[in-house]
Amino acid sequence: MKCKLVILSEIIAPYRIPVFNALARHESIDLHVIFLAETDPTLRQWQIYKDEIQFRYQVLPSWRRRFGKHNVLLNRGVESALRKASPSAILCGGYNYVASWQSLFWARRHRVPFSLWVESTVRDFRAGSRLVESLKAKFMHRCDKFIVPGKAAFEYVISYGAPEESIFAAPNAVDDKFFAERAEAVRREAATHRRMLRLPSRFFLSVGRLVREKGVFDLLQAYGTLAPELRTEMGLVFVGDGEERPELEQRARAIEPGTVLFPGFAQREQLAGYYALAEMLVFPTHTDTWGLVVNEAMVCGLPIISTSVAGCAADLVEDRWNGRIVMPREIEQLASAMEELASNAEQRGSMGQHSRERILHYSPEECAAGIANAVLSAEAQFHE
């Protein structure tokens, strides 16, 4: 008999759809996904690809407000949705919503194993107050199993006292086939796409929200310190949008010589083109639980320059093998890594190939298999 798995997930994120599709195909899983909202319009500009969904799902009625950096999301119908789905296992995608606690209490009352999907890391500085941390610890101590994307999240869960045998890896993944095929198609007509996207012949690429904690000001400053000859040859492209964009643009205008572009937010179809035409991805974040743009860039064969605090760094980026690892906020170190890779085409080619090799193990199918292992283990242990 299949495990009737219910996943509670915040929004319909494009990168989760291929994972849930793969999980729905698993021979031992009967999947139903409960989304707390379709999207978060205050942070995300993603297109919602409902036509690609191949699993059963529902979106609960919701009310969302942001108060400063605090995100409040309330839902109606959590318990009735769980009762109707009648799960034999629950996987919750977080612990910071009222619905998360409702699902945990429901699982305990109905003797259903409850697993938690954790992406936080010990190096993420966005810790909550003492009260929030206390509530988080109480929540985690009531979970049966934990699913993590990689080493950094594993260390985080261990720090809360979870036994190692309760933690399962489900490597974070993107739609690797889409990005690989799209990037290859763009490269076959590179000149045409370069004109369409108005890109320089060579450029460093940054993808993500234009907010201070993503290290975007560090990257711009590092670019400005490069030798004038290199800046004349290599541009810098920030794909994304955010509250710091006006100030970034103002500072960029003072860099001469050099080309700094802000094409704005790009949906995945266009995003693959930027990866295909870039020479490397620079990910200078100060704090990030993972960094799926690194997955996307690696699928497209790019070398990666990442800070050491990115959640994905320990798993995906090996210093001097498929990129460079630098310390956050270290402008000189970042500029040195950028100059090194920009000046050595052979090294970039080798690193790009290594990126492709490593990311093969981070597919939606691998992620789905990890999730299935965790929930099936929880179900079996719960009913021993």
Task: Tell me what pLDDT residue 25 has.
Answer: 98
- Domain ranges (residues) in the chain: 3-173+363-382, 176-359
The CA distance from 16 to 57, in Å, is 13
176-359 shares the fold of 3-173+363-382:
yes
pLDDT by residue (tens digit) across 24-78?
999 999 999 999 999 987 777 788 899 999 999 999 999 998 776 677 899 999 9
For residue 40, give every residue at least 6 positions away whose Cβ sits within 8 Å of its Cβ, in sequence order, or none.
Answer: 10, 11, 64, 71
Domain 176-359 matching CATH 3.40.190.10: the answer reads no
The CA distance from 112 to 103, in Å, is 10
- 3-state SS assignment for residue 274: helix
> Per the structure block, which two tokens stand in for 47?
């297109």
Q: Which residues of the chain have pLDDT under 70?
A: 68-69, 125-129, 384
Which residues, in sequence order, are bridge partners of residue 81? none
pTM over 0.85: yes
Q: Scanning the structure block, which residue is given the tokens 């969302």?
A: 64
Task: Tell me what pLDDT residue 381 has.
Answer: 86
Task: Tell me what pLDDT residue 163 has.
Answer: 96
Task: Tell me what pLDDT residue 28 has.
Answer: 97
Task: Tell me what pLDDT residue 112 has.
Answer: 97
pLDDT by residue (tens digit) across 328-341?
999 999 999 999 99
- In eight-state DSSP terms, residue 273 is H
- CA-to-CA dists, residue 42 to 209, 210, 330, angstroms: 12, 14, 30
The CA distance from 359 to 88, in Å, is 33
Task: Tell me what pLDDT residue 65 has.
Answer: 86
The two most distant CA atoms of the chain are separated, in Å, by 69
- CA-to-CA dists, residue 238 to 79, 207, 254, angstroms: 43, 6, 16
The CA distance from 63 to 368, in Å, is 30
For residue 320, give every residue at least 6 positions away whose Cβ sits within 8 Å of its Cβ, in sequence order, or none.
Answer: none
Task: Tell me what pLDDT residue 126 has.
Answer: 57
Sign of the torsion formed by the C-alpha atoms of 106, 108, 113 and 118: positive
Fold observed for domain 3-173+363-382: Rossmann fold (3.40.50)
Task: Tell me what pLDDT residue 222 has.
Answer: 98
Task: Tell me what pLDDT residue 40 has.
Answer: 86
Task: Tell me what pLDDT residue 374 has.
Answer: 97
The CA distance from 371 to 55, in Å, is 15
